[in-house]
């Protein structure tokens, strides 16, 4: 099911949070799951590799899960690897699928066993402070698929979860491209309904300060859009007004997966997001869980009521009285069909005052007498014929 799990070292059992003082006090018994999402080419896998190395350097080894079945090599030690469970190329071959269809089907197959992954995380929760989850390169394959929803909700219902959206800063210098990234980030936020962090990657190529300015200063973003003359710029200008509230409470951190800069600030934001999960999101998940349990209980009660109605007046309790047991219901007709009780038949018969044995014997004697009478007549006719002489 899963890859061989590395031996836990004593130093990663303290649950310390690197880059945040006293951050572990917010969630002492549960690891924080970091679900890393992002567009293809944004540097998700390299980002997870840098996070893993950073946490190891802080003596807080993470529990790493790879959910990309099509990756050729994983540059980090994965505790659980989807490739150990599902063969991506065989899925494409057997189901006649293309690359994206193969990834979706592989994730669907893996999601059917994700309860075992949850058990592994539960067993190791005292040894790891963070669970890193690397998702497939095609972001829509995980974000908008049923398996992605199942995995995300399964993790969020049991552990504090934070979504990290990795954004390619060097590709977002164009205001239209920047707005596209922000719209996608907003859609993921409302889809997952979890604490959200935007990690502006590749700050070693270009600083992310221009993006921060665009989010904080509407006029600066409008000035950048004035250089665009297409109708898309007009649409982007209108959409920027809609995202003002989204920008207000958005956590944004500039990081570099190559140099490792900005990771300390990232983990401070992660700890703050974990506290937000405990404060705002966990009560909601517990409320949904209670509603689910109550709905299941009501459904079971309704099924029992329907069963009682189908069984009629039969009492299923062991202390049923004799009078209640004698009442005939629909089930009595089914259970006694083909196996009648002689005593019940005699009690329900309409000819209880007739002696059936005597009647049958009288009928037999009459029939035998008639038979003898007929035979006697035949013999007499035959004797008369024999006694009469033939005419000369």
Q: What is the mean pLDDT of residues 133-156?
A: 90
The model's pLDDT over 226-284, given as tens digits with 9 standing for 90+, comes to: 887 777 777 787 788 888 888 888 999 999 999 999 999 999 999 999 999 998 888 88
CA atoms of 337 and 159, how far apart (whole Å): 56
The model's pLDDT over 173-202, given as tens digits with 9 standing for 90+, comes to: 988 889 889 999 999 998 988 999 999 999
* pLDDT reported for residue 345: 47
How much is the pTM? 0.69
Which band of pLDDT confidence, cut at 50, 70 and 90, is reported for residue 18? low
The model's pLDDT over 351-382, given as tens digits with 9 standing for 90+, comes to: 445 455 555 555 556 666 777 777 788 778 77
- Of 186, 204, 308, 296, residue with least CA distance to 245: 186
151 pLDDT higher than 90? yes
CA atoms of 358 and 80, how far apart (whole Å): 86
Q: What percent of the chain has pLDDT over 90?
A: 45
253-to-16, 132, 204, 264, 319 alpha-carbon distances in Å: 21, 18, 13, 10, 69
CA atoms of 245 and 253, how far apart (whole Å): 18
The pLDDT mean for the chain works out to 80
The model's pLDDT over 197-206, given as tens digits with 9 standing for 90+, comes to: 999 999 999 9
């Amino acid at each position: 099911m899963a890859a061989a799990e590395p031996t836990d070292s004593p130093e990663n059992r303290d649950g310390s949070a690197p880059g945040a003082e006293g951050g572990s006090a917010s969630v002492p018994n549960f690891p924080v799951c970091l679900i890393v999402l992002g567009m293809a080419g944004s540097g998700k896998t390299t980002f997870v590799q840098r996070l893993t190395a950073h946490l190891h350097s802080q003596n807080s080894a993470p529990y790493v899960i790879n959910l990309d079945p099509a990756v050729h090599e994983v540059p980090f030690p994965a505790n659980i690897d989807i490739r150990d469970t599902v063969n991506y190329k065989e899925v494409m071959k057997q189901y006649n699928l293309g690359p994206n269809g193969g990834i979706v089907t592989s994730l669907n197959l893996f999601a059917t066993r994700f309860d075992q992954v949850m058990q592994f995380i539960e067993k190791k929760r005292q040894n790891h402070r963070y669970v890193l989850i690397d998702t497939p390169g095609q972001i829509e394959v995980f974000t908008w698929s049923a398996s992605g929803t199942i995995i995300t909700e399964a993790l969020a219902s049991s552990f504090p979860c934070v979504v990290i959206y990795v954004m390619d800063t060097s590709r977002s210098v164009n205001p239209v491209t920047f707005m596209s990234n922000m719209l996608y980030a907003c859609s993921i936020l409302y889809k997952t309904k979890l604490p959200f962090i935007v990690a502006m990657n590749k700050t070693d190529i270009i600083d992310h300060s221009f993006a921060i300015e665009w989010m904080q200063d509407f006029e600066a973003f409008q000035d950048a859009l004035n250089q665009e003359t297409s109708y898309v710029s007009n649409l982007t200008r209108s959409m920027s007004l809609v995202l003002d509230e989204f920008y207000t409470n958005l956590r944004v951190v500039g990081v570099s997966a190559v140099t490792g800069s900005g990771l300390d600030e990232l983990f401070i934001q992660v700890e703050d997001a974990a506290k937000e999960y405990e404060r705002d999101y966990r009560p909601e998940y517990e409320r949904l869980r209670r509603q689910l349990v109550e709905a299941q209980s009501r459904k079971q009660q309704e099924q029992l009521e329907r069963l009682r109605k189908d069984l009629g007046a039969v009492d299923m309790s062991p202390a049923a009285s004799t009078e209640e047991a004698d009442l005939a219901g629909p089930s009595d007709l089914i259970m006694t069909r083909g196996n009648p009780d002689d005593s019940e038949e005699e009690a329900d018969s309409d000819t209880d005052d007739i002696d059936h044995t005597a009647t049958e014997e009288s009928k037999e004697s009459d029939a035998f007498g008639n038979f003898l009478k007929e035979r006697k007549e035949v013999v007499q006719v035959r004797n008369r014929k024999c006694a009469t002489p033939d005419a000369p």
